[in-house]
Copies of this chain bind each other. A is one copy, B any other.
Amino acid sequence: MLENKDESRSPLSDIGEFKLINHLTKQVKLHHKSTIKGVGDDCAVISYKEKQTLVTTDLLIEGVHFDLSYMPLKHLGYKAVMVNLSDVYAMNGIAKQITVSIAVSNRFPVEALEELYAGIHLACKMYQVDLVGGDTTSSTKGMLISVTAIGDVEQKDVVYRNGAKPNDLLVVTGDLGAAYLGFQILEREKQVFEVNPNAQPELENYTYLVERQLKPEARKDVVKILKELEVKPTSMIDISDGLSSEILHLCQQSKVGCQLYENKIPLDQQVISTCEELNLDSTTIALNGGEDYELLFTINQEDYDKIKGNPNFTVIGFITPEKEGAHLITRANQKIEIIAQGWNAMEK
């Protein structure tokens, strides 16, 4: 599908860089008054007045972060935007603009880039974000995407990683482990397909897992819900690199420790059943799998009543003084030190 063996496809060399960028961005509709000038000059121009600007950037590389044999290009474009928006929401901000730089080798026809941009444009529409610039170039091998997201936040609302205090509650959004298992399932189906190209993928029992891997959603809603509930977290962090490593970042930056309860970690039913099937420990997956674009935050205990019972949030532990360290309390009531494993250690 992706390689340019079909002569009806348009080779990239038929179209210059300037025309290609025009072609891929002509449908951009701007959502924000703050976007004074988008694509088409040396820089985008943005006007934030009294708010603070947030900037974050991520790089996704074929063969390292994604595998085009099961990642449709439209989904890849969508996901590349989510990865960055998630970091803006983790500061309690609203993402307003993105720039997208792409390098592709000649094996990709123009239509492949159109698919990729379809996902980027969809993400921009769904999350009300303006695409304001970027760079498109050739690569000697494969595809890579570099996205920078820009957002804003009132100075009084910005939430850093370093504000957690002892006795604060540790709260996580959504559920954990599904995106990693989705990856495992897709890898398994890929191997089946390589042995038998006529095999149909069997994904019906794993729909949630595969969706979490291929079409993650950043938690824009969490920023809105927290505002409505009048809860300002004392600290917050995106946990797409894995809960255990990110809890440790938060504790280190806040100079605190924590106790995390294994039996409180939110798991979807498909995560539990698939872990049983694959003989994997669901807690290990939830702690270290990564790629769940969820947020971890801490709140003052006084705010507990405001979030209690909200289906978006699960209290998974509490903050302790630094000298007590960071620990997981297991179902068997054992106390185990939390060690960063994160994304790399899972050998993805």
Contact = CB atoms under 8 A, between A and B. Distances in A.
A71 interface: no
A57 interface: yes
A253 B40 contact: yes
Contacts of A62: 140
Name, among A43, A44, A52, A158, the residue most crowded by chain B CB atoms within 10 Å (CB to CB).
Answer: A43
Interface string A8-46: 000000001110000000000000000011001111111
A40 B254 CA distance: 12
Contacts of A249: 18
A238 interface: yes
A43 B101 contact: no
Interface string A207-238: 00000000000000000000000000000111
A42 B148 CA distance: 12
A48 interface: yes
Contacts of A160: 37, 41
B142 A142 contact: no
A162 to B, nearest CB: 8
B55 A150 contact: yes
A58 B17 contact: no
Q: How large is the interface on A (under 10, 10 to 19, 20 to 34, 35 or more residues)?
A: 35 or more
B91 A57 contact: no
B140 A142 contact: yes
A20 B171 CA distance: 29
Contact of A45 (B46, B52, B58, B142): B52
Interface of A: 16-18, 36-37, 40-50, 52-59, 61-65, 86-88, 90-91, 93, 97, 99, 101-103, 132-135, 137-142, 144, 146, 148-151, 153, 155, 158, 160-162, 236-238, 245, 249, 253, 344
Given A57-B148, A62-B140, 6 more contacts: A42-B88, A42-B238, A45-B91, A47-B155, A61-B139, A150-B150
26 contacts: A17-B344, A41-B91, A41-B162, A42-B238, A43-B149, A45-B53, A45-B153, A46-B52, A46-B55, A47-B53, A47-B155, A48-B48, A53-B150, A55-B132, A55-B150, A56-B99, A57-B99, A57-B134, A59-B103, A61-B140, A63-B140, A64-B139, A99-B148, A135-B146, A141-B142, A144-B144
